[in-house]
Amino acid sequence: MVQYDREQTIKNVSEFFGNPLAVNKPSEFKDLMDLAQVSNVDSLYHSPVINDMPTGSDEGNRVDKAVVELIGNQEAKHKMKLIKTALHNMDDRYGRVIYLRHFQSMAMIDIAERIGYSSSNVDKLLETAYYKFALWTEEFLKLTCSVGV
């Protein structure tokens, strides 16, 4: 069985997502979202809401739409779908804390207030969420760090 360096793995995931409150600081996650042409991050965590309200018709040129879809990096789109699946399959408290921090760009103190935890407990919860996220996404993101034997 492979053993992982928990501390380094958590650091790798934190760096992958980047600081959500930093305006112009790039991160692999932000770049992946851009390449995948993801504009609604809520769709990555929450299921779409279906209602019976009419929507505007999409009578635009279908060829143009297809070309735009191809422009988006297919690999990035696939990774974003896998990230969505990982977040949905994680225990809700872990997926939620990642969502609030990196998709809603909430400060740690605001997350603590929202979920009713102390700030230090939110830090610990986020670290555990990062570790679990690394394990869930190991096959395609390679964020884990193995312990040398």
* pLDDT tens readout for residues 127-137: 999 999 999 99
Residue 149 domain-assigned (yes or no): no
Q: Write down the pLDDT at residue 57.
A: 47
* pLDDT tens readout for residues 34-68: 888 877 565 555 544 444 444 444 555 566 555 55
Which range of residues forms the domain containing residue 16? 6-44+64-141
The CATH code of the domain that includes 25 is 1.20.140
Residue 118 has pLDDT above 70, yes or no: yes
Residue 72 domain-assigned (yes or no): yes
Residue 148 domain-assigned (yes or no): no
Q: Which residues pair with 146 in a beta bridge?
A: 4
Task: Annotate the chain with three-state secondary structure.
Answer: CCCECHHHHHHHHHHHHCCCCCCCCCCHHHHHHHHCCCCCCHHHHCCCCCCCCCCCCCCCCHHHHHHHHHHCCHHHHHHHHHHHHHHHHCCHHHHHHHHHHHHCCCCHHHHHHHHCCCHHHHHHHHHHHHHHHHHHCHHHHCCCCECCC
Q: How many domains is the chain built from?
A: 1
Q: What is the pTM of this model?
A: 0.77
Residue 125 domain-assigned (yes or no): yes
